[in-house]
Amino acid sequence: MMKEINWVDDFEGDEDFAIIDTPIAKFGIYSKGNVLIKEDWVLDGIRPRLPETAFLANIQQQISRFWQAPLLFSSIAMRRPGTVHRIKVLEALFRIPVGETRTYADLAAILDSSPRAVGGACRNNPFPLLIPCHRVVSASGLGGYAGETEGDLVGIKQKLLAYEAAWMQ
């Protein structure tokens, strides 16, 4: 696991993206220069695509290793996303240990925020694997994932939580 988030505001360089197969769904990673711009789950029929830059190839390798041990990400420069509140929420998500969950209300209390505002920041998380918003659940159950409360993305959240719980045993 990365020890800290390496937020970057200024970046230049070639744009690249890759679509990689994971055990649960295809996953997109996008960069500009040596900065990760975003990642997301790809649910349509798009075919895998190999990265063209060494930076993105390294991230692809790290994501592949995640499926062997979810603690192995090294430091990655990532585009700083949006507001101060969103950054605080993402940094709190980042600190949730593998195999554990927190509720939206738990995070809201820590951040002096509201559960709804925490949920909004989770919904707009541009790095859903490196910054594990799947580890945030509602007080009454699983909660949503990436703005959905049912469907494929919620299934991905369930699979991520099950994978991490099994790995911790």
> Where do the H-state alpha helices sit in the chain?
54-66, 84-94, 104-111, 115-123, 152-168
Tell me the C-alpha to C-alpha distance, in Å, between residue 122 and each of 12, 88, 89, 145: 27, 11, 8, 8
Q: Which of 133, 136, 137, 156 is catalytic?
A: 133
Residue 133 among the catalytic residues: yes
Instruction: Please tell me whether residue 42 adopts helix, strand or coil conformation.
Output: strand
- How far apart are the C-alpha atoms of 157 and 137, rounded to whole Å? 10
- How far apart are the C-alpha atoms of 144 and 124, rounded to whole Å? 12
- How far apart are the C-alpha atoms of 155 and 44, rounded to whole Å? 15
Catalytic residues: 133
